[in-house]
Amino acid sequence: MRNPIPFDTHAYVKRLTGVGVSEAQAEVQAEALADLVYGRLVTKEDLQQGLQALEQRMEQRFAEVDMRFVEIERRFGDVEKRFGDVEKRFGDIETRIAQLELRLTLRLGVMLAASMGIVAALVKLL
């Protein structure tokens, strides 16, 4: 990583020794300050790498979400097919009920007509 800001440790040491700080102490302070400054600053390259990593993670998550939507759509299609099958079965049941109602009506009509015929015959005999 290149240094994002220029920090002249030699000039810093000279400045400290100029005010009475020992050269050993000045060098240690310069190294510590350089580590602190360079360790905490973010470069443009760091930001670009972080952005690329974030974009990759987002693309991966979007791909996962897309796969889940495909699965949901498949399951929804299955449910729609089953619902269609149930509707067809209910339609068949309704048709069967209508046929049974018609047969029952015809039987009751025949029974009523026969009963009236028997009653008429009995009335004539008595």
Please name the residues in contact with 125: beta carbons below 8 A apart, sequence gap of 6 or more.
none
CB burial of residue 100 (10 Å; 0-12, 13-18, 19+): exposed
Q: Each residue of 48-105: pLDDT tens digit?
A: 999 999 999 999 999 999 999 999 999 999 999 999 999 999 999 999 999 999 999 9
Measured CA to CA, the distance from residue 30 to residue 12 in angstroms comes to 6
Asked if 26 contacts 16 with a C-beta cutoff of 8 angstroms, the reply is: yes
**0.85 exceeded by the pTM?**
no
Predicted pLDDT of residue 5: 61
Percentage of residues of the chain with pLDDT beyond 90 = 62
Encoding tokens for residue 62?
A: 């979007």
